[in-house]
Structure 1
């Protein structure tokens, strides 16, 4: 089993060293409403619609060809009840709001547009993988909508290290453009120059550690925190293992289409096997990417604007 860090101890140390952005108020409110079983779609929509930009982005997503909804949508409540559902709207709104905490370049390698292009694809594909799992232990322990949120936020640490260390992040972006064949974790280690045992730099080890810590501090669901922190560990075994494998498989399949923050190749069969999936399943999932890619590219441009 993969050894996981003591997140509370790390979080306490991080808060002493850095001024981290708080979870945006609207994201916090949406998460609180989700936790209350009596919350209605109208109440959720009312909170989101207090932020016109967020409401417009949720509606744009619901109106996209991803869902083939042929009717008119005039409100977030209609997006909830007719197209997306309560959980998806909640997760999308939280993801969009969370990304606003960071100031980053829009274009280029590891820019906001690339972040959203990858994250939306990963979320969509993680959902498809979760729904495709055969009956058994992995499927029984995995909520497809939470797999969607895990895919959507798994790279949030990229935004955090760009926000906290802009000069290092500039160098990382330049290195990614110059050496796309090198693993992102290797570039991060080279540029940040520290190891994961460095007591004075717990966020400078790379985006996975940074993202896991931030989402832990924001009190996001445990599977989402674990995926953010552990998604780069091959053969991960531990808490919330199916979610990690789900997002890892999504990322490996996305690399087959040149989508993601690095273009190094790994065989997706091992990740698929851990979830009980086979080659025909992988072919179907690759087809899913092709079906939605153009629409997601357009949505990513809008979210990064």
Structure 2
């Protein structure tokens, strides 16, 4: 089976709700107003509560209080609220994945770490609207959950990476494709924006020549996250080369600062999106 085959199976199991589809339709419709979008969000109290918690968190650092969904859309912008909606429904869709709690806790911690790191690096490099990068990090590895659902034994083998192996190469050896490939196929089936799909699909692309800034940042952020988790025993240069750092005009101080930011914000984001994962802290 190929990545698309697994994604198609996952699309039948991990379904985005009707609320998400309606919100997407409104956002795609230029005639829709802020109030139209807010009204649909309010039909799902859990979604509305999650958006307000995130909007008022230090993640956005908005100086005032955002106490209505309409204000959230107005202050953060439609695109950013849409990203928060995607984040909410994605974590909800995978709620019933067949996996041990420890696996899921580690998975979401890694995903949130990658999301926070890419957001921080975006700010450091003065990328416009760097908050939007968060969703790329959060969703970059959903393919692992897909494969965990349908091929858990192979996933277990793929996660056992020796210090002379790279995770994405091990995945390709075992499955014939990477978790990134599977993630990209699923997001395409979910009809999410290409601006999300492209960086995630090409997150392991070594040649930066034709890559977007978002793809390059995800490449870097993912590797910084891996050095803190799955690849702690690897030589740093094997995971992230000095050449790639220089190409992005990043230094060791930027990496350290990104990790510090991640350590400060991780628990708050986990507590909102995945409370069960936050409990390990």
Band the TM-score falls in, shorter-chain normalisation: 0.7 to 0.9
Change (3 A) 1:36 1:124: farther
> CA contact under 8 A between 1:269 and 1:279: conserved in structure 2?
no
Change (3 A) 1:151 1:33: farther
Which position in structure 1 is the counterpart of 2:148? 162
Residue 58 of structure 1 and its aligned partner are, at CA, apart by: 2.0
> How does 1:246-285 map onto structure 2 within 5 Å?
246-256=217-227, 258-259=228-229, 262-263=231-232, 264=234, 265=236, 266-267=239-240, 269-285=242-258
Change (3 A) 1:17 1:60: closer
1:266-304 Cα shifts (integer Å, max 9, x gaps): 236433323333444444433422332332343353276
- With structure 2 as the length reference, what TM-score do the two structures score? 0.76
Which position in structure 1 is the counterpart of 2:196? 224
SS of aligned partner of 2:181: helix
Which position in structure 1 is the counterpart of 2:167? 184
Which position in structure 2 is the counterpart of 1:209? 181
**Whole-angstrom CA distance in 1 between matches of 2:261 and 2:7:** 44
| 1:233 has 2:233 as partner | no
Change (3 A) 1:234 1:55: same
Residue 212 of structure 1 and its aligned partner are, at CA, apart by: 0.9
Which position in structure 2 is the counterpart of 1:53? 46
Change (3 A) 1:269 1:43: farther
Change (3 A) 1:288 1:75: same
Which position in structure 2 is the counterpart of 1:108? 102
Residue 245 of structure 1 and its aligned partner are, at CA, apart by: 0.9
Residue 72 of structure 1 and its aligned partner are, at CA, apart by: 5.1
Residue 247 of structure 1 and its aligned partner are, at CA, apart by: 0.8
Residue 91 of structure 1 and its aligned partner are, at CA, apart by: 0.3
- With structure 1 as the length reference, what TM-score do the two structures score? 0.71
**Whole-angstrom CA distance in 2 between matches of 1:120 and 1:60:** 16
Which position in structure 1 is the counterpart of 2:213? 242
Residue 252 of structure 1 and its aligned partner are, at CA, apart by: 2.5
**Whole-angstrom CA distance in 1 between matches of 2:7 and 2:225:** 37
| 1:24 has 2:12 as partner | no
1:7-34 Cα shifts (integer Å, max 9, x gaps): xxx89x7399746335433233333333
> CA contact under 8 A between 1:117 and 1:300: conserved in structure 2?
no
1:30-84 Cα shifts (integer Å, max 9, x gaps): 33333334443332222222122222222232333434557655433344445x4
| 1:124 has 2:107 as partner | no
SS of aligned partner of 2:250: coil
Change (3 A) 1:71 1:170: farther
Change (3 A) 1:25 1:194: same
> CA contact under 8 A between 1:55 and 1:76: conserved in structure 2?
yes
1:100-147 Cα shifts (integer Å, max 9, x gaps): 3333236223x1x3333233332333233223326xxxx5xx763543
2:57 pairs with one of 53, 56, 64: 64
Aligned CA RMSD, in angstroms, stands at 3.5
**Whole-angstrom CA distance in 2 between matches of 1:185 and 1:279:** 24
> CA contact under 8 A between 1:54 and 1:96: conserved in structure 2?
yes
**Whole-angstrom CA distance in 1 between matches of 2:9 and 2:35:** 38
Please, which runs of 5 or more residues in structure 1 have no aligned partner?
A: 1-9, 196-204
**Whole-angstrom CA distance in 1 between matches of 2:242 and 2:66:** 40
